[in-house]
Amino acid sequence: MLTLLYFASIRDAMGFSEDQIDFVPDMASADGLITALVQRDSRAEILTHASVRMIINDEIVPRDTAIKDGDTIAFCPPFSGG
């Protein structure tokens, strides 16, 4: 099971802030996960933008980071600090 969290404008586009889905091997990468999410719900198309940050288990990671069953994955729009 994967826990998915959506923040800010992504949450607004998706219409909800949290979801859970069953993990399958095709979801072992960001591309695989995002493809599965878009097939499930076209609103997830927003996740395909390269500027969307992916956070796995509270750590900002590159999109080629492996995903495993039990992970919590958050999607955030670009942000800056100050």
The token duo for 62 is: 């590159």
Q: Is residue 20 part of a domain?
A: yes
Indicate if the pLDDT at residue 79 is higher than 90. no
Domain harbouring 8, CATH code: 3.10.20.30
Specify whether the CB–CB gap between 38 and 31 falls below 8 A. no
Q: In the chain, how many domains are there? A: 1
* Domain of residue 33, residue span: 2-76
Strand partners, 18: 5
pLDDT band at 78 (very low <50, low <70, confident <90, very high): confident
pLDDT digit string, tens, across residues 9-68: 999 999 999 999 999 998 898 889 999 999 999 999 999 998 999 999 999 999 889 999
Which residues, other chains included, contact 27 with Cβ-Cβ below 8 Å and sequence gap of 6+? Answer: 2, 21, 33, 36, 67
Q: Is residue 28 part of a domain?
A: yes
State residue 82's pLDDT score: 54
Enter the pTM of the model: 0.90
Q: Is residue 49 part of a domain?
A: yes
Specify the 3-state DSSP secondary structure of 55: strand
